[in-house]
């Protein structure tokens, strides 16, 4: 009896004043790695929920004796893939024309002003010719999006190279000392958009385990993207005649927001890391914690670091040099970015609209409104602003998809 009382007293004495587990995580009373280990079961649960949600329809199709997935969309997306890859290689090789311009100028074969004129002409052609090719071959949106995205990427790279070399020459450095064909060739394939005359940090080697893991993640995300499109989004387009515009937006909100997240991770977490690994590019800092954003300007800085660095270096910085105020520079940079995004959508779907531009410009007043709310930094206000941010991240893609894809898909004879 005495031993039982002692045991009970010992257990009672072990009680201490403690917060709940979630409060300890929230207040950072538990170290980061320990918190990650503590929640590993919750992470497994979330992955299981996602898997069950995506695999529900394929399993039902198998039980009904059908193919687990609709392969028609995949076959349609790969039409003209040979020409697409040839066009991609030609676009990559055309970047060397910008190097040739500076080389001819350094050899005094071409005058600097003539080089500038040719530079502007070639930059314009780099954007126009892929559009002409897409229109001529009548490519579907998937290869069209791939080509126009790569065309813009090579354009940004070429513009950065030409501008950095020209600026360094203005500062007094001889152009022949700035031109390095090996460094330029590395820049073309490296996952960066801003040219550095002094090169980039290099890794010691390729991590095979890391590379294989990224490939597996990429394959998994490709499956997720395909199921989202074919099982969650295409059925909405099939029912276009029986749905109002608002009903379509509501039905597409969750799948389009999920598609946006999947595209983000397959681009910035998988594809860029694979390119960085195989090219020994040591800077893997392609994004920050944009999911905690409290304003759209914070999101624009964090979600796409390569493009943000290019815009900061070649658009915002030039705007400030030309006398723009900080707000004016932000507005100018946002407009520039919006127009480029609009061109990508216009070439992909074959019709120029201003939906993306209007939505991105709307972010400017929302940016200041969100900052006004956050003048008093409290947890409640952070939650409200971040929730509003996430609402926009889901409803925005739904609206864009509805307006940019809806009419095009209905009118497309390839899938009707």
Q: To the nearest 10°, the Cα dihedral for 386, 392, 393, 395?
A: 140
pTM (2 d.p.): 0.82
How does residue 215 score in pLDDT terms, banded at 50, 70 and 90?
very high
Q: What is the pLDDT of residue 29?
A: 56
Q: List beta partners, residue 281.
A: 202
pLDDT, one tens digit per residue, over 14-59 is 556 555 555 565 566 556 666 666 667 777 787 788 788 878 888 8
**Annotated active-site residue in 111, 308, 314, 341:** 341
pLDDT, mean of residues 395-415? 70
CA-to-CA dists, residue 385 to 76, 121, 392, angstroms = 41, 44, 11
Q: What is the pLDDT of residue 414?
A: 46
Yes or no: say if 233 and 255 are a contact pair by the CB < 8 Å rule. yes
Which token pair is 204?
A: 């010691």
Q: What is the pLDDT of residue 177?
A: 67
Q: What is the DSSP letter of 290?
A: G
pLDDT exceeds 50 at position 116: yes
Q: List beta partners, residue 202.
A: 281
Q: What is the pLDDT of residue 156?
A: 93
Helix, strand or coil for residue 193?
A: coil
pLDDT, one tens digit per residue, over 231-263 is 888 888 877 667 788 888 899 999 999 999 999
Query: Can 341 be counted among the known catalytic residues?
Result: yes
Spatial CB neighbours of 42, under 8 Å, sequence gap ≥ 6: none
Yes or no: say if 88 and 150 are a contact pair by the CB < 8 Å rule. yes
Yes or no: say if 224 and 54 are a contact pair by the CB < 8 Å rule. yes
């Amino acid at each position: 009896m005495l031993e039982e009382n002692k045991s009970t007293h010992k257990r009672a004495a072990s009680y201490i004043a403690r917060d709940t587990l979630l409060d300890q995580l929230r207040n950072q009373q538990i170290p980061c790695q320990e918190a990650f280990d503590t929640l590993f079961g919750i992470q497994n649960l979330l992955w299981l929920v996602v898997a069950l949600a995506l695999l529900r329809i394929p399993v039902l199709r198998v039980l009904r004796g059908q193919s687990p997935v609709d392969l028609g969309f995949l076959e349609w997306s790969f039409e003209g893939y040979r020409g697409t890859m040839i066009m991609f290689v030609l676009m990559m090789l055309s970047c060397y024309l910008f190097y040739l311009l500076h080389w001819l100028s350094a050899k005094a074969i071409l005058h600097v002003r003539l080089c500038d004129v040719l530079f502007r002409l070639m930059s314009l052609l780099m954007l126009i010719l892929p559009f002409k090719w897409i229109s001529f071959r009548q490519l579907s949106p998937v290869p069209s999006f791939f080509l126009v995205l790569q065309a813009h990427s090579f354009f940004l790279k070429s513009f950065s190279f030409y501008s950095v070399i020209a600026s360094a020459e203005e500062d007094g450095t001889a152009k022949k000392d700035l031109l390095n064909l090996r460094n330029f060739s590395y820049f073309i394939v490296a996952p960066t958009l801003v040219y550095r005359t002094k090169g980039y940090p290099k890794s010691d080697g390729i991590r095979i385990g890391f590379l294989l893991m990224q490939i597996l993640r990429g394959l998994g995300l490709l499956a997720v993207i395909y199921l989202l499109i074919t099982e969650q989004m295409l059925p909405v387009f099939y029912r276009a005649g029986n749905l109002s515009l608002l009903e379509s937006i509501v039905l597409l909100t969750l799948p389009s927001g999920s598609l946006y997240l999947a595209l983000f991770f397959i681009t910035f977490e998988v594809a860029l890391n694979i390119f960085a690994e195989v090219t020994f590019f040591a800077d893997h800092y392609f994004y920050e914690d944009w999911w905690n954003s409290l304003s759209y300007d914070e999101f624009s800085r964090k979600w796409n670091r390569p493009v943000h660095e290019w815009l900061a270096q070649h658009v915002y910085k030039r705007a400030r040099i030309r006398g723009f105020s900080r707000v004016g520079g932000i507005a100018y940079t946002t407009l520039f970015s919006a127009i480029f995004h609009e061109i990508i959508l216009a070439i992909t779907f074959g019709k120029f609209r201003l939906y993306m531009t209007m939505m991105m410009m709307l972010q400017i007043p929302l940016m200041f409104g969100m900052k006004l709310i956050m003048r008093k930094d409290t947890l409640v206000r952070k939650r409200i602003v971040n929730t509003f941010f996430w609402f926009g991240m889901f409803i925005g893609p739904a609206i864009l998809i509805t307006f940019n894809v809806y009419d095009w898909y209905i009118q497309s004879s390839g899938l009707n």
